[in-house]
Amino acid sequence: MTSFYERALRELAIVFENLNGNSVQQGLDLIQQARRIALYGVGREGLQIKGFAMRLYHLGLHAAVVGDMTTPPLSQGDLLIVSAGPGWFSTVDALLTTARRAGAATLCITAQGTGACAAKADGVITLPAQTMADGQSAAKSVLPLGSLYEGALYLLFEGMIVHLQQKLAVSSAVMSGNHTNLE
């Protein structure tokens, strides 16, 4: 098992060695400028997005997951963050269109920076990792299907949170105070 973990960690390291830091900074800027933030992803990408929304909330930002009954309407000054690892999902495409019509900014995280969803977004973070769509290719990850992309999403989001925490001067105590007590 040790060699499996070593290979998986090396694959994740390669993703971040090839990540464009300027695109991440653009995403961070969009987040800092947003009045309200709505986030969306499908499947396991959606699980990572939910974790990111939770941490944004812990920072004191107005963040909600699309589909929850408490998600506010988006308009000018707001931001929609979506994940579309393979480049396109019908729901992500539709939400990008709706958010843009409402005047909100949009940020797409994807492995396919030239994909249809990325083309509709104001900001794009291309996370160069295998997704479920290319899981059958010759350059196959040790991780199944889209797990490399999904694991990289987790690390990307945690790195963005650490940056925002420092930039916004939010202490760990404040973040802990924003965590639910209903667990």
Which tokens in the block code for residue 72? 């506010």
Choosing from 45, 150, 158, 183, the catalytic residue is: 150
The length of the chain in residues reads 183
83 within 8 A of 127, measured Cβ to Cβ: no
Distances (CA, A) of 182 to 62, 65, 124, 135, 178: 19, 18, 35, 38, 12
d(CA 62, CA 84): 22
Is 150 one of the catalytic residues? Answer: yes
Number of C-beta neighbours around residue 147 at 10 A: 19
Distance CA 67, CA 127 (A): 25
* List of residues 6+ apart from 82 with CB closer than 8 A: 39, 40, 41, 49, 92, 95, 96, 106, 107, 108, 109, 117, 121
User: What is the side-by-side strand order in the sheet with 37-40?
Assistant: 63-65, 37-40, 79-83, 105-110, 123-126
Residues with active-site annotation: 150
